[in-house]
Amino acid sequence: MDVITVGSRASALAKQQAREWLALVEPRLPGVRIKRRLLTEGGDRDRTTSTLAEVARTAGGSAFSSDQERALVEGDVDVVVHSLKDLPTTLAAGTRLLTTPGPRQDVADVLCGATLDGLPEGARVGTGAPRRIAQLLHLRPDLDVVPIRGNVPTRLRHVGRGGMHAVVLASAGLNRLGMLPPSGRRQVLDPSVFPPSPGQGALGVQVRAGSPVEALLAGTGDVGVDACVRAERALLAELHGGCSVPVGAWGRIGPEGDLVLSAAVTAVDGSRQVTASGSGPVDAPEKLGGALAAELLALGAREILVAVRR
């Protein structure tokens, strides 16, 4: 191929993610010209709807991936670089993910503007994600969690405005943009206690199945990172979850070289949380994700998820 068109959202973070991926693969593509195409998603156009789940329902798919998938299927782009946590577990027909690139960015969430222990009773904390809302209230039921939307700089500007004491953002996005707050004004939330969204910190590189681009880019990912995110996404798929469901999952390679997965399902009001963890071979991530999902359901996650979907 002489030209490959790479699509991504137009936000500063999405453009940085695409640059990060291209820096990994361009040395393997001598003589190939890379074209970039910026695509606008429903979540970017609609800044008035209060939740991304509502935006996704209106758009008929994901708030941050549906239009990019459509452009890929229709041949307007050859590759799409996503934040993997924004990509549904069911992909558009005729597409597939390449092996996940590595290294993966920090999976953790960050409380920006304060620490959990330093927040006063009734403090206002901003986040738009049901998972983060649920996990915050599970740890601090006294908090006033306020839904917010917008890109990373917009969300950071909420701190100190309108009585907002802090906001929660992904460490990966903050690091990629060089916007991590000073050490005294943040707390990295331990992923063993505050498990992240499945796929958080990782890039999802989507192509048309069987295309020349897929063959050209074969072998450009990291099998360890890929196993971790595949286990997380398999668990999410088994729970029939998405951006509106408070499911956290954290996969990593253990000290013995096995695949370790921890997960939590939390009631949106924080009143109840079901957790589980397990390990298995790196070459069977979907089996581990499915088994852990079944364990969560047996422990009571089903009732939590039914209540969320009402």
Domain boundaries, the chain: 3-99+202-221, 109-189, 247-309
pLDDT number for residue 180: 93
- Give the Cα separation of 277 and 275 in Å (integer): 7
C-alpha to C-alpha distance for 111 and 166, rounded to whole angstroms: 6
118 neighbors 183 (Cβ within 8 angstroms): no
Q: What pLDDT, in 10s, does the model give residues 173-231? A: 999 999 999 887 999 999 999 999 999 999 999 999 999 999 999 989 999 999 999 99
Largest interatomic CA distance in the chain: 60
Residue 155 annotated as catalytic: yes
Strand partners, 7: 37, 80
Q: Which fold has domain 109-189?
A: D-Maltodextrin-Binding Protein; domain 2 (3.40.190)
Based on the residue annotation, tell me whether 124 is a catalytic residue of this protein.
no
Q: How confident is the model at residue 55 (pLDDT cuts 50, 70, 90)?
A: very low
Phi, psi of 77 (to 5 degrees): -135, 160
Rounded (to 5) percent helix, strand, coil in the chain: 35, 25, 40
Which residue among the candidates 9, 104, 155, 186 is catalytic per the annotation? 155
15 catalytic, yes or no?
A: no
Centre a 10 Å sphere on the Cβ of residue 207 and count the other Cβ atoms it contains: 22
3-state SS, 94-114, equals CEEECCCCCCCCCCCEEEECC
Domain 3-99+202-221, what architecture? Answer: 3-Layer(aba) Sandwich (3.40)
Active site residue 86: yes
Q: What pTM does this model have? A: 0.91
Query: Does 109-189 match 3-99+202-221 at the fold level?
Result: yes
33 is an active site residue: no
Kindly report the average pLDDT of the chain as a whole number.
91
Domain 247-309, what fold?
Double Stranded RNA Binding Domain (3.30.160)
Q: Are 229 and 289 in contact (CB under 8 A)?
A: no
CA 52/CA 57 separation, integer angstroms: 9
